C-alpha cells in the first residue's frame, strides 16, 4: 500500500434543526489559411456539445480536438475562441448552462485566451451557487489560468466595480495569479479599497506574498489563513 | 475523510452552515486528508503544486450532483465531473495532503429565484483519489442535504 486516506465517519447523520497551473502548453500557432481550419458546421457541432452532459472522458476528447484545432493557426485559434465565447453569452440559469460555462472556461483557460479576458472579468461572479469555494466560479478559474495577462483588467475591475463581493473575487484571482505585477496591483488596491473584508483580504495576501520560498505567491503554509480572509466571516 | 471537527476555524466538517462575507452556505463540510509513502504530490488534478511540480502523485475529486431547489431540478446528476483545482482550500506538505469542500447551497442573493427557499434536496456522490500511474487509493461517499418545513437535515456515508 503506497498511499492511504484516513477515514473518519464519526456520525452518519447530523441533527436536523436550525439551518444551521499549470495550463496546457500551447505552442504558437503558425499562420495558415482559414481553409485548413475545421469547417464552420463541424466547429459549431463540437461547441454545441459543451452544454450536454458530457462525461469527463468525452469532454477530454472534445477539448483535445478543439485545442488541436486552435493550434493549427492563429485564424483557427481565433475561430475556436469566438465560437466558445458565442456560446457563453448568457449567464447560466440551469445545469446545462453552467456546464457550458464550466467546460467553455476550461478551454479558454487552457488556450490562455487573452481575447476572452473582458468577458471573463465581466462574469467573475457566475457560479453554480452550490458552494462559496472559488472552484465553483468558472470565469475566475479561467482568468487564473490565463495568468498575468489578465492582471490589468482585473486591477481595473477593482477600481470600476461598486460591488465589494465582485471586487473580492477579482482580488482572489490577482493573488492566486501572483508575481510582482500582482503584488503591485494589491498594493494599489490597498489604498483604494473601502470594504473592511476586502481590506483585510488584501493585507493578508500582501503578507502571504512575503515569503522566502515563493515570493509573491500564496504558499501552502499561509493558504488556510489567506482563504479564511477571502471568506471573511463577519 | 473527516466529517467531524473542522479544517480550520470557519470551515467546519459535518452538516451545517458556513458564513462568508454577508452570505451563508448550507450543506455538509468535509476534509479529505491522507498521505502517500513517497514521491510527493505534484498535482491538484490538472494544476501543478508549485512546491513540488515533479511530485509523482495527483490528488483528485470527482462529483456527480443532483439538486432540486424549490421544486426545480438544477443539477441532474449524470457523469461525475472534475471537482478539484488549486482554487480550493488545500494544503500539501511533502507526502501529506488535505483539502476542504462544502457542497450544498449558497444563500447570497436575496433577489435570486432561489429565494425565499421553500425546499431543497441535494445529493452529491463524490470520489476522492490519489493517483500515481496505475497505483491509486480511492474513497467514495455520498452527501445528502434537504430543507423542508423550515428545517435542514444532512446525512453522509461511504459508498462501495
DSSP-assigned beta bridge partners for residue B21: A233
Neighbour count for residue B93 (Cβ, 10 Å):
14
CA distance A177 to A170: 11
Residues 6+ apart with CB under 8 A from A177: A143, A144, A147, A148, A150, A151, A154
Residue B25 distance to chain A (closest CA, Å): 6
Residues 81-100 of chain A whose Cβ lies under 8 A from any Cβ of chain B: 94-95, 99
The sign of the dihedral angle between the CA atoms of A167, A222, B49, A215 is positive
Residue B48 distance to chain A (closest CA, Å): 5
Contact A84, A109 (CB under 8 A): no
Q: Whole-angstrom distance between the N-terminal and C-terminal Cα of chain A? A: 44
Nearest residue to B105 via CA among B49, B30, B24, B32? B24
Residue range A125-135, pLDDT digits in tens: 998 888 888 88
Residue, of A5 and A205, whose pLDDT is higher: A205
Sorting pLDDT into bands at 50, 70 and 90, what band is A22?
very low
Contact A130, A136 (CB under 8 A): yes
Which residue in chain A is spatially nearest to B19 when comparing CA positions? A233
Pairing of strands B135-148, B151-159: antiparallel
Sorting pLDDT into bands at 50, 70 and 90, what band is A8?
low
- Which residue stretches of A88-234 are H helix? 95-110, 117-122, 138-146, 151-160, 164-177, 180-192, 196-209, 220-231
* ipTM (interface pTM): 0.85
Question: According to the model, what pLDDT value does residue A30 have?
Answer: 53
Candidates A20, A94, A168; nearest CB to B17: A20
Candidates B62, B83, B151; nearest CB to A16: B151
Q: Do A4 and B34 touch (CB under 8 A)?
A: yes
Candidates B3, B51, B87; nearest CB to A11: B3
Residue range A40-59, pLDDT digits in tens: 888 988 888 887 777 788 88
Query: Which of B24, B106, B141 is the best substitution to test chain A (most A C-beta atoms within 10 A)?
Result: B106
Candidates A7, A59, A231; nearest CB to B20: A231
- H or E element that contains B145: strand B135-148
pLDDT, tens digit only, all 160 positions of chain B: 999 999 988 899 999 988 877 678 999 999 999 999 999 999 999 899 988 999 999 999 999 999 999 998 888 888 888 899 999 999 999 999 999 999 999 876 655 666 788 999 999 999 999 999 999 999 999 999 999 999 999 999 999 8
Q: Do B135 and A2 touch (CB under 8 A)?
A: yes
Q: Do B106 and A217 touch (CB under 8 A)?
A: no
- How far from A99 is each of A88, A104, A221, B103, B153, CA to CA, in Å? 10, 8, 33, 17, 27
Residues A170-194, mean pLDDT to the nearest whole number: 97
Residue, of A35 and A5, whose pLDDT is higher: A5
Residue A176 distance to chain B (closest CA, Å): 8
> Chain B within 8 Å of A25 (Cβ-Cβ)?
no
DSSP one-letter code for B116:
S
Q: How many CB pairs under 8 A join A and B?
A: 206
Residue, of A189 and A132, whose pLDDT is higher: A189
pLDDT surpasses 90 at A14: no
Q: pTM of the full predicted structure? A: 0.86
Residue, of A118 and B79, whose pLDDT is higher: A118
Question: According to the model, what pLDDT value does residue B81 have?
Answer: 87
Nearest residue to A201 via CA among A234, A228, A165? A228
pLDDT surpasses 60 at A216: yes
Q: Do A11 and B4 touch (CB under 8 A)?
A: yes
Neighbour count for residue A154 (Cβ, 10 Å):
27
> Chain B within 8 Å of A101 (Cβ-Cβ)?
no
CA distance A22 to A109: 10
Amino acid at each position: 500500500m503506497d498511499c492511504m486516506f484516513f477515514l473518519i465517519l464519526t456520525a452518519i447523520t447530523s441533527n436536523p434543526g436550525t439551518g444551521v497551473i499549470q495550463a496546457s502548453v500551447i505552442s504558437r500557432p503558425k499562420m495558415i489559411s482559414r481553409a485548413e481550419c475545421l469547417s464552420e458546421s463541424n466547429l459549431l457541432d463540437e461547441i454545441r456539445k459543451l452544454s450536454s452532459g458530457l462525461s469527463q472522458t468525452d469532454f477530454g476528447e472534445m477539448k483535445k480536438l478543439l485545442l488541436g484545432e486552435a493550434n493549427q493557426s492563429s485564424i483557427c485559434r481565433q475561430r475556436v475562441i469566438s465560437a466558445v465565447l458565442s456560446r457563453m453569452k448568457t449567464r447560466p440559469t440551469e445545469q446545462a448552462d453552467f456546464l457550458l460555462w464550466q467546460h467553455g472556461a476550461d478551454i479558454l483557460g487552457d488556450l490562455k485566451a487573452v481575447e476572452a479576458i473582458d468577458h471573463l472579468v465581466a462574469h467573475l461572479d457566475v457560479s453554480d451557487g452550490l458552494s462559496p469555494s472559488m472552484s465553483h466560479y468558472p470565469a475566475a478559474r479561467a482568468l487564473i489560468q490565463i495568468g498575468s495577462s489578465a492582471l490589468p483588467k482585473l486591477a481595473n475591475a477593482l477600481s470600476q466595480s461598486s460591488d465589494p463581493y465582485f471586487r473580492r473575487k477579482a482580488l482572489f484571482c490577482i493573488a492566486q495569479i501572483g508575481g510582482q505585477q500582482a503584488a503591485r496591483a494589491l498594493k494599489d488596491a490597498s489604498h483604494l479599497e473601502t470594504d473592511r473584508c476586502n481590506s483585510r483580504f488584501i493585507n493578508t495576501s500582501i503578507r502571504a506574498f512575503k515569503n522566502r520560498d515563493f515570493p509573491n505567491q500564496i504558499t501552502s503554509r499561509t493558504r488556510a489563513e489567506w482563504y479564511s480572509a477571502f471568506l471573511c466571516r463577519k | 475523510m473527516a466529517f467531524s471537527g473542522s479544517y480550520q476555524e470557519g470551515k467546519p466538517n459535518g452538516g451545517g452552515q458556513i458564513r462568508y462575507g454577508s452570505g451563508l452556505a448550507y450543506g455538509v463540510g468535509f476534509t479529505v486528508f491522507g498521505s502517500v509513502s513517497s514521491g510527493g504530490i505534484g498535482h491538484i488534478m490538472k494544476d501543478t503544486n508549485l512546491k513540488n511540480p515533479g511530485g509523482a502523485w495527483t490528488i483528485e475529486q470527482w462529483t456527480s450532483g443532483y439538486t432540486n431547489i424549490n421544486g426545480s431540478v438544477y443539477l441532474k446528476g449524470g457523469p461525475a465531473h472534475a471537482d478539484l483545482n488549486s482554487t480550493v482550500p488545500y494544503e500539501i506538505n511533502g507526502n501529506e495532503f488535505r483539502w476542504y469542500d462544502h457542497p450544498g447551497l449558497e444563500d447570497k442573493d436575496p433577489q435570486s429565484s432561489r429565494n425565499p427557499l421553500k425546499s431543497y434536496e441535494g445529493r452529491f456522490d463524490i470520489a476522492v483519489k490519489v493517483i500515481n500511474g496505475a497505483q491509486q487509493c480511492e474513497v467514495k461517499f455520498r452527501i445528502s442535504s434537504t430543507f423542508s418545513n423550515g428545517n435542514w437535515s444532512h446525512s453522509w456515508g461511504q459508498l462501495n
